[in-house]
Amino acid sequence: MSEEKLRQEITDICHLVYRKGYVASTDGNVSVRLYDGNVMCTPTRCNKGFVKPSDLVVIDMHGNKVRGERKQSSEMAMHLQIYRMRPEIQAVVHAHPAAATAFAAAGLPLNKALISEVVLAVGCIPLAQYGTPGTPELTEELRPYISGHDALLMSNHGVVTYGKTLEDAFNLMDTVEHFAKISIYTKILGRERLLSPDDVEKLWVQRQKYFGLDESEAQRKDPLCPMTDGVSETISLTRGELIDLIERVVSNIK
């Protein structure tokens, strides 16, 4: 795709990210890898709802500006780290969608096998530890998860997703946020019925066929973010969840 078309496509995705409420004010950033190995990205301090194709900046893989009027986003080190570690990735979207960011702020990964389509499309969405935005600290905390996942929660910050096209990267952001909302609704309802290990296993097989992945890619059984299925539900309760449960039981006895 030509640079001009990609310029328009980034702009369209930015407007969509803003319309969907996945960012506020000047939050978030979007980039694509260009045919010459450089990266085109959104500028710093720019509202994604109003960004224009001419605002975009081209940088090299070291983060130096190659062309463009404005200054590149301060989060580009994170995008470049993803492009370096995943040669097949062509686009990165970073945003702060409210429900998924609430999980990131609560210190919770989105790792429960609650919805078949999410297991199929994304698998576990791990939570990377906190790192100050715009510093190597953030990039280092994401590093252990980049190879095994296409969507990451960033503690006390937001979400980053990436794919072979901008649309793929955006779709993942959409899926993560939708799943986060469903997860919160199940908490409000007071119960979660997880898929069984057998069901999850069948979805992994389907995932392999659907995406044409080899077995290691399809499995995505990252020890850093194991998928919580029906069997491990009882041991996956956090301390806070346990206290909450005990309080509910005690108040019922009274």
Instruction: Give catalytic residues, as residue numbers.
Output: 75
Contact segment (CB under 5 A) with Zn ion among 43-51, 77-85, 123-131, 152-160 equals: 152-160
Distance of CA 94 to the CA centre of its chain: 7
SS (H, E, C) 120-139: HHCCCECEECCCCCCCHHHH
> Is 195 in contact with 111 (CB distance < 8 Å)?
no
User: Which residues does 20 contact at the CB level (< 8 Å), separation at least 6?
Assistant: 97, 174, 177
The residue (of 23 and 195) whose beta carbon lies closer to Zn ion is 23
> Is 79 in contact with 163 (CB distance < 8 Å)?
no
Chain residues 157-196 in contact with Zn ion, contact rule CB under 5 A = 158
3-state secondary structure of 78: helix
The residue (of 131 and 148) whose beta carbon lies closer to Zn ion is 131
> Is 132 in contact with 161 (CB distance < 8 Å)?
no
The least distance separating Zn ion from the CB of residue 133, rounded to whole angstroms, comes to 6
The least distance separating Zn ion from the CB of residue 42, rounded to whole angstroms, comes to 12
The residue (of 28 and 109) whose beta carbon lies closer to Zn ion is 28
Contact segment (CB under 5 A) with Zn ion among 58-66, 107-115, 156-164, 200-208 equals: 156-164
Give how many residues touch Zn ion by CB under 5 A: 1
DSSP assignment of 239-253: HHHHHHHHHHHHHHH
The least distance separating Zn ion from the CB of residue 130, rounded to whole angstroms, comes to 12
The residue (of 123 and 158) whose beta carbon lies closer to Zn ion is 158
The least distance separating Zn ion from the CB of residue 167, rounded to whole angstroms, comes to 21
| Residue 97 touches Zn ion, criterion: CB under 5 A | no
Instruction: Please classify residue 151 by burial: count the beta carbons closer than 10 Å to its beta carbon, then call 0-12 exposed, 13-18 middle and 19+ buried.
Output: buried
* φ/ψ (deg, to 5) at 179: -65, -40
Contact segment (CB under 5 A) with Zn ion among 37-45, 51-59, 105-113, 153-161 equals: 153-161
The least distance separating Zn ion from the CB of residue 29, rounded to whole angstroms, comes to 7
* φ/ψ (deg, to 5) at 231: -70, -45
The residue (of 97 and 158) whose beta carbon lies closer to Zn ion is 158
Query: Among all residues, whose Cβ is closest to Zn ion?
Result: 158
The first and second tokens of residue 237, run together, are 């309760």
DSSP state of 208: H
Contact segment (CB under 5 A) with Zn ion among 7-15, 39-47, 134-142, 155-163 equals: 155-163
Site residues (vs Zn ion, CB under 5 A): 158
